[in-house]
Structure 1
Amino acid sequence: MDKTPPDAIPVDGFFNSAERAEQGVNAIYATLQTTELYSNTMSKLYTPPTGEVVLTNTGGYGFNDFTYSAADGILMDVYGKLYEGVFRANTVIKEVPLMEDIDASLQSRLVGEAKFLRAFYYWHLTTLWGDVPLFTEPFEVPSDALVAKSTRAAIYEVMIQDLIDAEAVLPEVYGASDLGRATKGAAQALLGKVYLYDENYEQAEVWLGEVIDSELYDLVENFGDVININSENNVESVFEIQFAEVGEGDVGTLRVSYNNPQVNGGFGNNLPTQTIVDAFEDGDPRLNESIFIDGDVFAPELSTESLNLDTYQSVWSATGYNLKKGLFPVMYVNNRGTNFPAIRYADVLLMYAEAANELDMRDVARDAVNEVRDRVGMTLLDAGTTGTKEALFDAIVHERQVELAFEYHRFNDLRRWGLAQTVLGPNGYAERNRYYPLPQEEIDTNENLVQRQGW
């Protein structure tokens, strides 16, 4: 018997009001908040392989040293959820333009949001897996999903057009009730990022420059506020994953407790290593804002007679360190999770600097890096030490490592720069690790899929 589950709302007839159209778009955002993606699991594919974090007390140890296999369930968890986001976006992109009783400007904006999000989901898919199946319409029947891979280049063409379309219709800002929705600046920033990853530096410089020239974004004064529950959706945030519904109602997440020290209910899953501690220059305040180090103020307000939480103790961690960025002030299970800035202005400045440096615009590139360094009081770069493309590139590599630590950028950067073998080779990285293997479950199910070479 082929029956629709009684608790499910069928797509046919669903998009019959502006409220329903907005609900459809909200569902695309909601996938980002799931445990498989920004709430927990996806971090295992981005952070431990850098050698700057080691996974403990959880699954996925193979991502510490590149001993994972195509059959690892974590790969399928992330891959499947990313495609769930694509499917939901495709549904909105197909159905909402067909609606008649809806304000035209709202209709256009909602489709623009869906196109931005489809590009964002495909950005993760192509970054993690390279060539993957491309879908631009929702499936009619499950067998529609059994297709061959499309090339990364072909998918980039779709992403670029999606972002150009989105940028043209999305607003620059929203009201308080719609914070977290994709904006014009978010579309411009992601478009610049896609061009940068594709080594089209001319277009990357143009679109990232649009974000800068808009003067809508700035660096927050205190680096500790870049990911902080008390300063969410701040002036530095370009696109932020909301750990509350886009609209009304909170969504709980255990993201903070997954990474808190193993005291008072924390799991300590991702532990910083000496590698990232040593990467910070002497006196860089970002070290103490990013990593708990022995003796740091921890959570005196949570201390009890039997449990001293006044200061952080290195014995709480197998590496002697715990994550602090995004986890301070300290919270535990039953507290709302902190928003996650997927794109923030400091990242835009450093991407812009990279593109400008490749275009031999050395002075403007250096200025962009110095804006980031000046925020935390670090010595500014000068032409004497960064006068060549190579020297300035090295400075950008360093700045991205310490400024964006634990924000899912480092592994991407090392691979796209061709530095992964040199930096990560001692940890087990090999050429086949440039992209992850397609989940074995997908290979077994879809005879049209061919596994990546080396797997």
Structure 2
Amino acid sequence: MKKTFIYVLGALFCMTLGLSSCTDYLDRDEQTVLSKEDAFKNFKNFQGYVEVMYNVIPDVAKHYWVSSFNWGEDEIITTGAGEYLAGYSVDKGSYRDFLYGSGKNGSTFLDRDWSIDQGANQDDRFKKSLWGGGWYAIRQANIGLKALEDGMLTDATQEQRNFIKGQLLFFRAWFYFELTTYWGGLPYMTEPLNPQEQFRLPRMSYQECADHMIADFREAAKLLPVNWDDTDTGRPTKGNNIFRPNKIWALSYLGKAALYAGSPLMVNGTDNDLRTYDANYCKIAADALGEVISMVDKGQCQYKLVDFADYSKLFYERKDFLMPGSTEAIMRSPSFGADSYWRQMNSYQISAICNGDGIILCPTANYVNYYGMANGQPLYNEDGTVNAASGFDEHHPWKGRDPRFYHDIVYDGVKMIKNVAADKDKYGPYEFANFYNGGNGVNDPKSTSRTGYLNYKFIPIGANLADNDYGWGFHMHLSWLRLAEVYLLYAEATAEGYGSATAKASGCNLSAEDAINVIRDRAGVDHVAPNFTASVDKFMSEVRRERAVELAFEGHRFNDLRRWKLLTVYPYTIKTKQTFDRDPSVPFDGNAPKDNAVVNFEQEVLVTRKLSAKHYWLPFRIDDVTMYPEFGQNPGW
């Protein structure tokens, strides 16, 4: 009988960092376990081994029936039914609640539980956690790389060998990138550990980890193709290779990892008020991201920005269980769950018109203010006064706004139900969004909007009980990385690395300013105004605002505020609502809500977040930090 392949597969479950005992696995019938030789001997078998790592990538938006994944100052949850969601715990500074709490408090993709019964081969998306799955995949990658080094892949072309190694390096670096984003520096393991040996590797600094990630991503970019469909190896699965790491993935994440390493939190720590960048890391980031942009601009890859007319296809598909993302999605989780979308979809609407769980995820008014004017200007100056150059008028606050505002945000007067004829008495009162003082869209913090806005970025108008324009075939999905973010990362990295909004990275024809304007051009927004390009600091205020608008509610804001060291700085610590009355002297027009007039337009603080320096990093379990002295707890925890 062949020697059972316990070294390769069984040891995956024996990690020291929180994974469960491998006893159950070792009790399996030897006939059910692949031999070491069979698992790695040819490309098909080895690729099957690699693809286990695909299956542990969490799906941020569908990790629970109603998923809370926007933890910055961007979103607030209704009261009464949603207090167990992560957003509440983060606002209170109670990170341990949503990471390790009992019951439903742990309903987030960062969940720490990962046992054999919830292993990589199961399909329950609720149990695909970043912590457990990340360490699992890192060990999987290291075992595969060791098998390559030992010459166990005997039946493969050089191209196939390259693709196997490139995927393993990419996944090792990617899971480390996500883990270190939340927990900071960790032991960067580059070979499989012997389960019988005592684990004593110390935590590295963030930059030390980043150096390893950058090296892994760079090597992966050399080994992987731009498009698997155009290769001999990928041709047998042509049309089904969109979820496989490629050169664009690797270069994009090389850039993102380097920019994070050069960002204020990682450079300066939490015990001071410094918010400077590391120019060297930013240059590395800019050059990698610039290479991607150059390939896109020259038509040398399969990725391109979608037209604004198709903007919704980045986030949801209305039929046939299609995966959203179109030509712009770079990295996505391959998991699927239309049933969860049906529940998540209802969490963006007032309870009276949907089959929800009594939970509404509302955009905060302060965040909606980042959506500036179509002329490219922000609504307000830094001191809170109206920006005169913008033309914003608090008497007509919905007029002349950035087109993405009208796509993403439901504001007062917007038609929410397309056809109320089926049950006019029941649904007629909710045909239009009534968000004025006393209106039925804001009069109950448990079942209506708490802020005067709703988020329809991920759902179509008509996805309600009256219109019944939704079903199991609808699918919401958020990319881990899409092309628009590559442009925005490039703008930030180039400005900070090369010291000017007009600077260009090596090999790229776009300046930092140009990259922002490409995204604005797509949406029909005017370019960055000259007064914002006069200095890097001024330009960065528009970079941050552009990220807030383009990537709104896609799960980025919390990490952005953290890496910029703004999480604990006013006004990023407050969540507000807007209150107003409809102007009685101007007739309300439901067919032209942009033109409606209001009076007594004010902003009221709902929440002041209780966050301090320790909240820039997540805490580890006590079990983790008491394993051995070299693995220390994050400051303040």
* Pairwise TM-score range, normalised by the shorter structure: 0.7 to 0.9
Instruction: Tell me which amino acid in the other structure corresponds to 2:312.
Output: G
Match of 2:501 among 338, 362, 371: 362
Matched, 1:210 2:259: no
TM-score (norm 2): 0.63
Matched, 1:72 2:100: yes
Q: Partner residue of 1:4?
A: 27
Deviation of 1:31 (Å): 0.7
In 2, are the aligned partners of 1:257 and 1:332 still within 8 Å (CA)?
Answer: no
Inter-CA distance 8–54: structure 2 relative to 1 (3 Å threshold) = farther
Instruction: Tell me which amino acid in the other structure corresponds to 1:348.
Output: V
Deviation of 1:25 (Å): 1.9
Inter-CA distance 404–168: structure 2 relative to 1 (3 Å threshold) = same
5+ residue gaps in structure 2?
Answer: 1-22, 114-129, 230-238, 263-280, 374-400, 434-440, 464-468, 503-510, 574-607
Instruction: Tell me which amino acid in the other structure corresponds to 1:86.
Output: I
Deviation of 1:344 (Å): 1.4
Inter-CA distance 327–446: structure 2 relative to 1 (3 Å threshold) = farther
Q: Partner residue of 1:201?
A: 282
In 2, are the aligned partners of 1:257 and 1:267 still within 8 Å (CA)?
Answer: no
In 2, are the aligned partners of 1:58 and 1:269 still within 8 Å (CA)?
Answer: no
Structure 1 window deviating more from structure 2 (395-404 vs 285-294): it is 285-294
In 2, are the aligned partners of 1:243 and 1:336 still within 8 Å (CA)?
Answer: no
Matched, 1:179 2:242: yes
Match of 1:28 among 39, 53, 61: 53
Structure 1 window deviating more from structure 2 (311-320 vs 345-354): it is 311-320
Q: Partner residue of 1:232?
A: 324
Q: Partner residue of 1:100?
A: 154
Q: Partner residue of 1:276?
A: 367
Deviation of 1:353 (Å): 1.1
Paired with 1:449 and 1:302, the residues of 2 have a C-alpha distance of: 60
Query: 1:352-431 maps to which residues of 2 (within 5 A)?
Result: 352-358=490-496, 359-363=498-502, 364-423=511-570, 424-425=572-573, 426-431=608-613
Inter-CA distance 85–137: structure 2 relative to 1 (3 Å threshold) = same
Structure 1 window deviating more from structure 2 (302-311 vs 169-178): it is 302-311
Paired with 2:420 and 2:154, the residues of 1 have a C-alpha distance of: 55
Deviation of 1:23 (Å): 1.6
Tell me the matched-pair count.
Answer: 445
5+ residue gaps in structure 1?
Answer: 245-250
Match of 1:288 among 406, 424, 433: 406
Match of 1:190 among 253, 274, 279: 253
In 2, are the aligned partners of 1:133 and 1:148 still within 8 Å (CA)?
Answer: yes
For each residue in 1:275-324, what CA deviation from the matched residue of structure 2 results, as whole angstroms up to 9, or x when unmatched? 22222114112123334446656676999759759957646544254443
For each residue in 1:158-187, what CA deviation from the matched residue of structure 2 results, as whole angstroms up to 9, or x when unmatched? 211110111001111133121121121111
Instruction: Tell me which amino acid in the other structure corresponds to 1:180.
Output: F
Partner of 1:109, secondary structure, is helix
Paired with 2:328 and 2:475, the residues of 1 have a C-alpha distance of: 19
Name the one with the larger helix percent.
1
For each residue in 1:179-236, what CA deviation from the matched residue of structure 2 results, as whole angstroms up to 9, or x when unmatched? 1211211111111111111221211111111001102333211233332336734222
Paired with 2:181 and 2:69, the residues of 1 have a C-alpha distance of: 10
Inter-CA distance 293–127: structure 2 relative to 1 (3 Å threshold) = same
Q: Partner residue of 2:221?
A: 167
Inter-CA distance 99–45: structure 2 relative to 1 (3 Å threshold) = farther
Query: 1:72-151 maps to which residues of 2 (within 5 A)?
Result: 72-73=100-101, 74=106, 75-77=111-113, 78-96=130-148, 98-141=152-195, 147-151=201-205
Deviation of 1:361 (Å): 3.8
Paired with 1:38 and 1:171, the residues of 2 have a C-alpha distance of: 29
Partner of 2:479, secondary structure, is strand
Q: Partner residue of 2:340?
A: 254
Deviation of 1:399 (Å): 0.5
Partner of 1:150, secondary structure, is coil
Partner of 1:276, secondary structure, is helix
Q: Name the structure, 1 or 2, with higher relative contact order (CA <8 Å, separation 6+).
A: 1
Inter-CA distance 356–134: structure 2 relative to 1 (3 Å threshold) = closer
Inter-CA distance 69–22: structure 2 relative to 1 (3 Å threshold) = same
Paired with 1:324 and 1:414, the residues of 2 have a C-alpha distance of: 23
Partner of 2:481, secondary structure, is strand
In 2, are the aligned partners of 1:39 and 1:253 still within 8 Å (CA)?
Answer: no
Inter-CA distance 393–94: structure 2 relative to 1 (3 Å threshold) = same
Q: Partner residue of 2:269?
A: none
Partner of 2:631, secondary structure, is coil
Paired with 1:38 and 1:446, the residues of 2 have a C-alpha distance of: 35
Query: 1:427-438 maps to which residues of 2 (within 5 A)?
Result: 427-438=609-620
Q: Partner residue of 2:482?
A: 344
Paired with 1:439 and 1:142, the residues of 2 have a C-alpha distance of: 22
In 2, are the aligned partners of 1:259 and 1:323 still within 8 Å (CA)?
Answer: no
Between the two proteins, what is the percent identity of the paired residues? 24
For each residue in 1:353-381, what CA deviation from the matched residue of structure 2 results, as whole angstroms up to 9, or x when unmatched? 11222213422111111111111111211
Paired with 1:336 and 1:33, the residues of 2 have a C-alpha distance of: 20
Q: Partner residue of 1:451?
A: 633
Deviation of 1:404 (Å): 0.7
TM-score (norm 1): 0.85
Paired with 1:420 and 1:383, the residues of 2 have a C-alpha distance of: 28
Q: Partner residue of 1:247?
A: none
In 1, are the aligned partners of 2:214 and 2:254 still within 8 Å (CA)?
Answer: yes
Instruction: Tell me which amino acid in the other structure corresponds to 1:362.
Output: A
In 2, are the aligned partners of 1:192 and 1:208 still within 8 Å (CA)?
Answer: yes
Paired with 1:326 and 1:142, the residues of 2 have a C-alpha distance of: 48
Paired with 2:333 and 2:207, the residues of 1 have a C-alpha distance of: 27
Paired with 2:27 and 2:198, the residues of 1 have a C-alpha distance of: 19
Q: Partner residue of 1:248?
A: none
Matched, 1:63 2:181: no
Deviation of 1:57 (Å): 5.6
Instruction: Tell me which amino acid in the other structure corresponds to 1:343.
Output: L
